[in-house]
């Protein structure tokens, strides 16, 4: 079974409550109808019920199976505001400020999760990544023992000889602009867990650079060398190697030439890029020029699953992301 089909089967079994924070957005409403019909999750739409009713009536969309919550009037506002004040007391957040910011569905959604009223959230069809992430980072925060939230893409290739049965995992393509060596190590460790949990992949992690095993000398190369060492210390069971160039990571002959004896070189299925610039540009190159399907960004390291959509997303991207978010919620 293809990876996305496996994810959808599991989502149907889990029946998690997933918040669609942009509940008055057309693609989101069309996706909600599909999710309800395909029983992929229990859908919670945030937004003004009259606006939702108007749009769905005009467009012939049926979301009667969804729970609709208006962040501006919901009875739980006071409870959530008190929780927010408690979480942000060191930042001096007042109850009035908390109540005002709860009008924003991008704040209300994470607070529903924090209060146990939902299992996951997606947004980003009409909001920038930073605006989706900031409230999630501030209120839902990271998993115990994790300090860095990052984002992975599952790159799906028609050619099943690529990576793991046609799947390569790329990180961090979405969040940390310039991770330091410790943060890069943490991204590698977390990505290995995500690759296993979502796709059942046994990770072989390449820590990418413009140098392979000392072929170039530069502080940026040292960062990747040190990150690889730290990742090994964080999880001695990891199959990880670096620093290495992309061809050494993926092409058997080049890998054995540039990094002889490496268990990862030439066979990597998880690629950890040295920073957000190379990762974000890299996944888009592979998507646009190699025709790979890019599933993500799947955010990892957060205490509960909150995922960000691209503003260019399609209805089916939203449906897929709801299924993935539900899988992450477990």
Q: Give the residues lining the site for ligand ACO (CB under 6 A).
A: 129-130, 133-134, 137-138, 142, 148-149, 173-177, 280, 297, 310
Would you say 5 or 277 has its CB closer to ligand ACO?
Answer: 277
Q: For residue 177, count CB atoms less than 10 angstroms from its CB and return exposed for 0-12, middle for 13-18, buried for 19 or more.
A: exposed
Q: Do the strands 150-156 and 293-300 form a parallel or antiparallel pair, or are they unpaired?
A: antiparallel
Q: How many beta carbons lie within 10 A of that of residue 41, not counting itself? A: 26
Would you say 133 or 264 has its CB closer to ligand ACO?
Answer: 133
Residue 287 structure tokens: 């998507």
Would you say 56 or 325 has its CB closer to ligand ACO?
Answer: 325
Rounded distance, CA 283 to CA 261, Å?
28
Would you say 132 or 206 has its CB closer to ligand ACO?
Answer: 132
Rounded distance, CA 120 to CA 243, Å?
35
Cβ atoms of 247 and 209 within 8 Å: the answer is no
Q: How far is the CB of 132 from ligand ACO (least distance, A)?
A: 8
Q: How far is the CB of 154 from ligand ACO (least distance, A)?
A: 13
Rounded distance, CA 106 to CA 130, Å?
11
Q: How far is the CB of 192 from ligand ACO (least distance, A)?
A: 18
Would you say 280 or 327 has its CB closer to ligand ACO?
Answer: 280
Task: Give how far the C-alpha of residue 170 lies from the chain's centroid of Cα atoms, to the nearest Å.
Answer: 11
Query: Angle, to 10 degrees, between the axis of helix 105-114 and the axis of helix 77-87?
Result: 80
Q: How far is the CB of 35 from ligand ACO (least distance, A)?
A: 22
Q: How far is the CB of 166 from ligand ACO (least distance, A)?
A: 21
Closest among 106, 191, 109 to 146, alpha carbons compared: 191
Q: How far is the CB of 169 from ligand ACO (least distance, A)?
A: 14
Would you say 192 or 279 has its CB closer to ligand ACO?
Answer: 279
Q: For residue 47, count CB atoms less than 10 angstroms from its CB and return exposed for 0-12, middle for 13-18, buried for 19 or more.
A: buried
Q: How far is the CB of 140 from ligand ACO (least distance, A)?
A: 10
H or E element in which residue 181 lies? helix 181-199
H or E element in which residue 300 lies? strand 293-300
Would you say 263 or 311 has its CB closer to ligand ACO?
Answer: 311
């Amino acid at each position: 079974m293809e990876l996305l089909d496996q994810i959808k089967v599991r989502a149907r079994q889990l029946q998690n409550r997933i918040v669609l924070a942009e509940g008055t957005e057309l693609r989101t409403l069309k996706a909600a109808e599909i999710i309800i019909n395909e029983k992929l999750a229990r859908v919670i739409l945030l937004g003004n019920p009259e606006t939702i009713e108007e749009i769905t009536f005009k467009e012939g969309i049926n979301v009667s199976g969804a729970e609709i919550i208006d962040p501006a009037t919901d009875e739980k506002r006071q409870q959530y505001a008190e929780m927010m004040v408690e979480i942000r007391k060191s930042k001096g957040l007042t109850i009035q400020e908390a109540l005002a910011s709860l009008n924003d569905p991008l704040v209300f959604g994470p607070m529903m999760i924090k209060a146990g009223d939902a299992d996951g959230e997606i947004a980003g069809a009409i909001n920038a990544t930073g605006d989706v992430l900031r409230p999630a980072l501030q209120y839902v925060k990271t998993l115990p023992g994790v300090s860095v939230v990052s984002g992975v893409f599952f790159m799906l290739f028609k050619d099943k000889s690529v990576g793991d049965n046609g799947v390569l995992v790329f990180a961090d393509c979405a969040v940390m602009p310039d991770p330091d060596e410790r943060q890069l190590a943490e991204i590698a460790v977390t990505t290995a867990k995500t690759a296993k949990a979502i796709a059942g992949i046994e990770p072989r992690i390449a820590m990418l650079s413009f140098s392979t095993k000392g072929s170039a000398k530069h502080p940026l190369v040292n960062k990747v060398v040190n990150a690889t060492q730290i990742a090994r210390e964080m999880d001695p069971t990891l199959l990880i190697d670096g620093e290495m160039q992309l061809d050494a990571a993926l092409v058997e002959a080049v890998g054995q030439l540039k990094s002889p004896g490496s268990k990862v070189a030439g066979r990597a299925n998880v690629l950890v890029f040295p920073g957000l610039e190379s990762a974000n540009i890299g996944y888009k190159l592979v998507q646009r020029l190699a025709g790979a399907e890019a599933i993500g960004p799947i955010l990892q390291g957060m205490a509960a699953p909150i995922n960000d959509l691209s503003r260019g997303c399609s209805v089916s991207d939203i449906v897929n992301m709801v299924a993935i978010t539900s899988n992450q919620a477990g």
